[in-house]
């Protein structure tokens, strides 16, 4: 078993690796890179860390193989946050502990900055001349969940004011908006480590549970979290009458279900054996996170 200190140390170490790789990709090309970097800087880096954890658990040795893809995921995630914060969407002026992109640079630059990050991610995915088939598979998997079959569809459902208040509708939003992207982060690590299809499939399915869990804890933190610790504005979901887990189940009911999703994720990961122990600790971290 991994203790609380150990997982905190693990996350800090991996975050440092991701942060310095990202910095390298934002070297001085033109001023737009500085604008984009403002928003990229400061996240928890959960998605890239999941990709690295999966790559290493699957026996991947050279971290450089997964790093550009892991960083690309973070750029796509950041684009989605920038666009989500826009006045036409969630309208939030505070993100990652500072002014959100449109507040700092204006709406036009925020939109363009998101567009730039989205495209630049795919350039990072193509870095290097090796493992072309794996990179193709990784890009296919990512592109399938960040567009109209995933994040963008999830956002469309999320902003719709004609939602039915049902567990099924909630699950559809959570799956598309959050869980598929978290699951694909776990999946690309396995793809780049050249794992067999069975392993890749188990990891994706376990990742879906982890992703739903992630959105459950995000929903809980929107109700009980502190602005400074979260680095974003809590209370937005109630203010905009969002369909969330607490809206449907209350806080206690949401906590109960979150624990159940954590168990389901851990059971699935554990079928892959001891090499995947880290995912137990990562799941617990996501269950108990306060930011």
- CA-to-CA distance for 10 and 14, rounded, in angstroms? 6
SS3 (DSSP) at 230: helix
What is the total count of residues that contact ligand GRG (CB under 6 A)?
Answer: 17
Query: Which residues from 73-112 bind ligand GRG, rule CB under 6 A?
Result: 77, 80-81, 83-84, 96
* Part in contact with ligand GRG (CB under 6 A); list of ranges 100-108, 152-160, 186-194, 272-280: 152-160
Binder to ligand GRG among 22, 40, 46, 52 (CB under 6 A)?
Answer: 46
Whose Cβ is closer to ligand GRG: residue 196's or residue 229's? 229
Decide if residue 152 touches ligand GRG (CB under 6 A). yes
Residue 194 tokens, joined: 């050249």
Decide if residue 218 touches ligand GRG (CB under 6 A). yes
Decide if residue 222 touches ligand GRG (CB under 6 A). no
Question: For the chain, what's the residue count?
Answer: 291
Contacts of 88 (CB under 8 A, 6+ apart): none
- CA-to-CA distance for 46 and 68, rounded, in angstroms? 15
Q: Which residue's Cβ lies closest to ligand GRG? A: 43
- CA-to-CA distance for 76 and 185, rounded, in angstroms? 11
**In terms of C-beta density within 10 A (0-12 exposed, 13-18 middle, 19 or more buried), how is residue 269 classed?**
buried
Side-chain half-sphere CA neighbours of 176 within 13 A: 18
- CA-to-CA distance for 271 and 257, rounded, in angstroms? 22
Contacts of 2 (CB under 8 A, 6+ apart): 10, 277, 278, 280, 281
Binder to ligand GRG among 57, 178, 199, 283 (CB under 6 A)?
Answer: 178
Whose Cβ is closer to ligand GRG: residue 125's or residue 181's? 181
Decide if residue 268 touches ligand GRG (CB under 6 A). no
Whose Cβ is closer to ligand GRG: residue 45's or residue 135's? 45
Min dist CB 44 to ligand GRG, Å, is 3
Backbone angles phi, psi at 166, to 5 degrees: -140, 155
Decide if residue 176 touches ligand GRG (CB under 6 A). no
Whose Cβ is closer to ligand GRG: residue 117's or residue 141's? 117
Angle in degrees, CA 168, 232, 187, rounded to 5: 55
Binder to ligand GRG among 7, 26, 33, 44 (CB under 6 A)?
Answer: 44
Binding residues for ligand GRG, rule: CB under 6 A, are: 43-44, 46, 77, 80-81, 83-84, 96, 151-152, 154-155, 177-178, 215, 218
């Amino acid at each position: 078993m991994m203790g609380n200190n150990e997982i905190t140390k693990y996350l800090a170490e991996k975050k440092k690796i991701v942060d310095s790789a990202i910095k390298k990709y934002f070297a001085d090309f033109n001023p737009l890179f500085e604008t984009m970097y403002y928003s990229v800087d400061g996240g928890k880096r959960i998605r890239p860390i999941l990709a690295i954890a999966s790559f290493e658990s699957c026996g991947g040795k050279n971290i450089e193989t997964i790093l550009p893809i892991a960083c690309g995921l973070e750029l796509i995630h950041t684009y989605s946050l920038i666009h989500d914060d826009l006045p036409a969407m969630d309208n939030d002026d505070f993100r990652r502990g500072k002014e959100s992109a449109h507040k700092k640079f204006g709406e036009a630059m925020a939109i363009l900055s998101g567009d730039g990050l989205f495209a630049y991610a795919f350039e990072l995915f193509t870095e290097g001349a090796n493992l072309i088939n794996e990179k193709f598979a990784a890009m296919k998997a990512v592109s399938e969940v960040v567009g109209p079959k995933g994040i963008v569809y999830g956002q469309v459902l999320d902003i719709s004011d004609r939602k039915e208040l049902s567990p099924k509708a909630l699950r559809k939003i959570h799956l598309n908006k959050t869980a598929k992207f978290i699951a694909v982060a776990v999946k690309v690590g396995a793809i780049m480590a050249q794992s067999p299809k069975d392993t890749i499939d188990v990891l994706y399915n376990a990742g879906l549970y982890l992703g739903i869990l992630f959105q459950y804890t995000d929903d809980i933190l929107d109700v009980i979290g502190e602005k400074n610790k979260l680095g974003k504005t809590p209370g937005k979901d109630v203010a905009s009458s969002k369909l969330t887990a607490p809206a449907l189940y209350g806080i206690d009911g949401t906590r109960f279900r979150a624990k159940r999703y954590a168990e389901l994720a851990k059971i699935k990961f554990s079928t892959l054996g001891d090499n995947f122990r880290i995912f137990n600790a990562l799941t617990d971290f996501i269950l108990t996170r306060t930011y």
